[in-house]
Structure 1
Amino acid sequence: MIIENIETFKQCVPLTKPFKTALRTVAQAESIIVKITCDNGIIGWGEAPPTHVITGDSMGSINGALLHVIKPVLLGGSLSAYERLFSLLDNSIIANPSAKAAVDMAIYDCLSQSANLPLYQYLGGYRDTLETDFTVSVNDPDEMGEDALRYAKKGFNVLKVKVGKDDPDLDFQRIRAIRQRAGREIKLRLDANQGWSVKEAVRIIRRLEDAQLDIELIEQPVHRTDIRGLKAVSDAVDIPIMADESIFSPQDAFELLRTRSTDLINIKLMKSGGIHKALLINKMAEMCGVECMVGSMIESKLGLTAAAHLAASQKNITRCDLDAALMLDYDPVDGGIIYQGRDISFPKQPGLGIANLKGLRGIVYEG
């Protein structure tokens, strides 16, 4: 099975409501779609959204890396030697994790189709259903409380709450408003997106603990490069701390695991460069007794389907944050994972189970 062609397309879908974090506000889901065609007719799909403030990738940089660097390296490569392909992909260009992730998931789509297995079974098949949380964007406390109540009424029993913007005292009011409106049966996860200093993080987390607001975990409280600070926060509080932006590569994960700087790890394909490296991160974490969550950027059901297959395949991936497709104004993907409220199930078709993508536009630029 030889890679015969690699094509790129542009996809853009409006969100039903702007997505707000401490780092950015997003009104539409843009991405580069990758299509790999093999000589036996098998087609694999991948997706790479631009997330400048996290991965450093833009639409232009993703497309340029794919067409000018990665495509020439991989054309003619054999999927029967996929470890060699993944090595070539990884070494083809420095950084550019989103571009690599799109190609990686398209290769895995082809491989699992060739094996006539859904991807989650090809990767290990630990479970065949998942549950996702739903994200509450950072806004004023009253609006966040209303949003949380609305999502709870839709059946989401785990909410991921964005904080870390403006003022830690305001963050406390936000969480208290959500807890009051959504009730005690809803599980709350907080994501500060690097928005606090170490002292601010310790102070507000202890305040949340003292107020008995029952927080499951707190994600990336401090700047991504402040590993000592992350460890200081983890050591000073009882609520488990999850690393996100601090971990891109297996090397990043090794350092945080070695120093016991985090209690949990959030794996995202757009940070790790795809499923191949994500599996390494998860296995290292499992060896150290650290559970993982699989999350996503603002992307369509295509990228989320690949992430969900990874999550379902591995025992140590115990949490999912795969709600981005539910925020879109419409679903541009025929096939892929199936949402029923918070529940995610998988199609029986081999690979990612993608039948078609609607509204794709050919790339009219190459830079």
Structure 2
Amino acid sequence: MSTRLAWGPGVLLAAVGAALGWVVHAVAPVVPWLTASLVLGVVVGCIPPLRRLLDGVFRPGLAVASRRLLRIGIVVLGLQLSLLDIARLGWIAVIVIVVLVAVGFGVVYLLGRAFRLPGDEPVLLAAGFSICGVSAVGAMSAARRSDPEDGGAPVAMVTLFGTAAIAVLPALAVPLGLGQGRIYGDWVGASIHDVGQVVATAGSAGAAALAAAVVVKLTRVLMLAPMVAIASVATRRRMRAAGEDVRGPLPPVVPLFIIGFVVAVLIRTFAGGALPPVVWDIAGTVQSALLATALFGIGASLRLERLIRSGWRALVTGAIGWIVILGLALLVPLAVSLA
């Protein structure tokens, strides 16, 4: 059987799952498309009669969906980010956001180590919570050549707390004195993981909050490139120390899909005004479709029994890390106001 025929059934299944996720989102807009796709994948993976097919004929395609399509989705994500929008935040705000990402990453990583999460779960959880959710988990996993199973708990925690934020953050806005305008949007963009969850949380507060939230969020997304490059360099050193470079090529210092992401950012920055808005809207839809397909593939490949064994530790790590990041993110509206 040719390679394409081998992975075709699994990719088709993941695409159908992503389409069903979109239907769920259309019927219940409060449920993000990506979250719905992941949950549907997990549900499919829990059906005993289907497991033989998922681990058999569908497995090659699900692997392609959860890795290759995820990376392509990350590249297309770069088309949503313009350096000009980031520049308008002011240098104080940008520095604060960069520090927030670094501190958030460090806190969650240390918590994961303290709770003895297995394998690469601590670093993947830290990337997901501090940078851009599932996209960061996938990018960091690729750079570190992590065991696919290590991504299960981080993806689940990013989805759980990101979804909870859709209800929790609007409820906290008034008691914290943030209102429902730009200040609230800055906080949302600085604290929530996935772009889709940011849109869902800030969109209900109006256009000003949504615009502010997206710019701050995409500034965090830009940190994906240097963080993944650092992880890749660390992986190369680890493999050399272990002598693993003898058995195969080392991962690149900067993975190809991260280079593509940066190129996409530059295209949006310098060609953003030359093309009609519909082009960028289509790119956003394609990005969401690719990531939804990848998330269904990830969900269908998960095995809940493994998540249950370390789930409580990942849950506590995620909860504490989320609270810390919510608190630190309150500095971003202050920094923007000073800019």
- Structure with larger RCO (C-alpha < 8 A, sep 6+): 2
The structure with more strand, counted as a fraction of residues = 1
TM-score of the aligned structures, taking structure 1 as reference length: 0.23
The structure with more helix, counted as a fraction of residues = 2
